[in-house]
Amino acid sequence: MLKWHLWKRQTFTFFHIILTTECNLQCTYCFGEAMEDVDPDFPDSEVNYHLPRTISYNVDTLDRFCRQDPDCVLTFYGGEPLLQTNKIKSIVDNVHAKHFLIQTNGLFLDRLETEYTNCFHTILVSLDGDEATTDFFRGKGTFQKVISNLKLIRNNGFKGEIIARMTVMEPTDIYKQVKWLLNNTEFPFSSVHWQLNAGFWKNDLQRRKFDQWTTESYNPEIRRLVKFWVDHMEHHGVVLRLYPFLGIAQSLLKGETQSLLRCGGGWTNYAIQTDGHIVPCPTMWGMKNDYLGHINSANPLKLKQVFVSDPCNNCDVLNICGGRCLYANVTKRWDKEAYAQVCDTVRNLIKAISEEVPRIKSLIREQKMSPNSFEFMKYNGCEIIP
């Protein structure tokens, strides 16, 4: 078993800045699920559902907090962070951070002045695939507006990484949609990440076909996508930045023998609520029992670290998986059987990539590509394990 208490942070500390609790969209898997989730109470955690709508702390307080870690990285997050463009500008102007990133639905990217947009290291933009798929989950017209904004910011000189961040669930065909994001002529993405909508809501399983979808579609299509990914390396000498594959393959190639939660949640990647309290990850907003301090008084380099527990700490693939999701592990919103269904997708993914490692290694040996092609900024908002 991992010696959690001995773990040293070997990277920057990341903080999601929850700028607002509001969003301008009502996506199916977020707003829609919340409407249907009639039992929002967590058995072991008192939840503050009444956080301030936008940040109630002073930006100077955030600066004092961040200055204690000269390498801290801030990711603007929400709700939708671009509903608070003035706060973004104020933080960029006044807070000392190594990098600024943003996770956004992309609809208001045209509202932020170019000088601010261009200082983001990375923009993670929510898109679920092609126009029909994205608009099905996120609302009609979303796709076209986001793509037009992305073209605009590229034309205005944004040089950083743009990651298409998909939320996937039935009936999405993962192979088809990821390939579309990579190859479309409107705005081909060089980086794609996806996360399963699984284990975040208590009452959604009965009305879903998660098991059938993962067995008949998601798992086989992931195997197909892994093969395509390595074929692409072989034919073009290029490692496509498909984050779930990148993270796992890098660990296997380096022979890493242990992994903590790959999103960094609770041990190197935290979230600051609108009221200044620090929680292990943005999804854990309001969960008072999990508060780790307040930016008024906490030291970012000495924050408590929290780790996944049962069933992950006895799992045979923990060293690669890392535990998938602290929120899912703590809240156990899905029962044991459903949790195991999600773990089956993790095992399938690990197996598919493991089977291709010999081929990847021989491509590196033949100098068709460099091992450096698998490098990426860890904890940038891509959780790696979907």
Residues that bind ligand SF4 (CB under 6 A): 263, 265, 281, 283, 311-312, 315, 317-318, 321, 323-327, 343, 346, 383
Q: Give the shortest CB-152-to-ligand SF4 separation in angstroms.
A: 29
Residue closer to ligand SF4 by CB (options 23, 315) is: 315
Q: Give the shortest CB-370-to-ligand SF4 separation in angstroms.
A: 29
List, in sequence order, the alpha helices (H) in the chain: 33-36, 59-67, 85-94, 114-117, 131-138, 142-155, 174-183, 210-213, 219-236, 243-254, 318-321, 326-331, 336-365
Could you give the CA distance from residue 276 to residue 285 in angstroms, rounded to a whole number?
11
CB 287 within 8 A of CB 279: yes
Q: Give the shortest CB-371-to-ligand SF4 separation in angstroms.
A: 26
Q: Give the shortest CB-322-to-ligand SF4 separation in angstroms.
A: 7
Residue closer to ligand SF4 by CB (options 127, 198) is: 198
Residue closer to ligand SF4 by CB (options 2, 25) is: 2
Q: Give the shortest CB-165-to-ligand SF4 separation in angstroms.
A: 11
| Alpha-carbon dihedral 47, 51, 55, 58, rounded to 10 degrees | -80
Count of residues for the chain?
A: 386
Q: Give the shortest CB-56-to-ligand SF4 separation in angstroms.
A: 23
3-state secondary structure of 239: coil
264 conformational bin, left if phi > 0, alpha if psi -120 to 50, beta if neither: left
Residue closer to ligand SF4 by CB (options 298, 326) is: 326
- Count the neighbouring beta carbons within 10 Å of the beta carbon of residue 299: 10
Q: Give the shortest CB-283-to-ligand SF4 separation in angstroms.
A: 4
**∠195-214-223 over CA atoms, to 5°?**
80
Q: What is the DSSP letter of 122?
A: E
Residue closer to ligand SF4 by CB (options 74, 281) is: 281
Q: Give the shortest CB-291-to-ligand SF4 separation in angstroms.
A: 15
Residue closer to ligand SF4 by CB (options 181, 349) is: 349
Residue closer to ligand SF4 by CB (options 165, 324) is: 324
36 conformational bin, left if phi > 0, alpha if psi -120 to 50, beta if neither: alpha
The two tokens of residue 348 are 């399938």
Residue closer to ligand SF4 by CB (options 180, 243) is: 243
CB 14 within 8 A of CB 268: yes
CB 177 within 8 A of CB 128: yes
